[in-house]
Amino acid sequence: MGDLRFTGKEAKHTNLEFVKVVKVNLAGVAGFLYYITFDVRDDAAVDGVTMEFQACVWDGIAHIEVVISRLKSST
């Protein structure tokens, strides 16, 4: 599994550990768009609670790009 790296307000979580994939959806658009929901654990947190993140990854013909990666909203 690759490194988990975030920018913006999620950057405060610097030591995240992948736990599991929750859900994946796929759309075909000049390659594939993967909508991924996954759980991570912050190793610095004492309680060990997991956080649910979302990512949108475009797997195009020539390259792969993470379009968005964020903490899942609670609504």
Query: In which band, very low, low, confident or very high, does the pLDDT at 36 lie, cut at 50, 70 and 90?
Result: very high
Give the mean model confidence (pLDDT) for residues 1-24: 68
Characterise 42 by phi-psi region: left (phi > 0), alpha (psi -120 to 50), beta (else). beta
Which domains are seen in the chain, by residue range? 8-71 (3.10.450.10)
* pLDDT: which is higher, 54 or 73: 54
- What CA–CA distance (Å, rounded) separates 55 from 26? 12
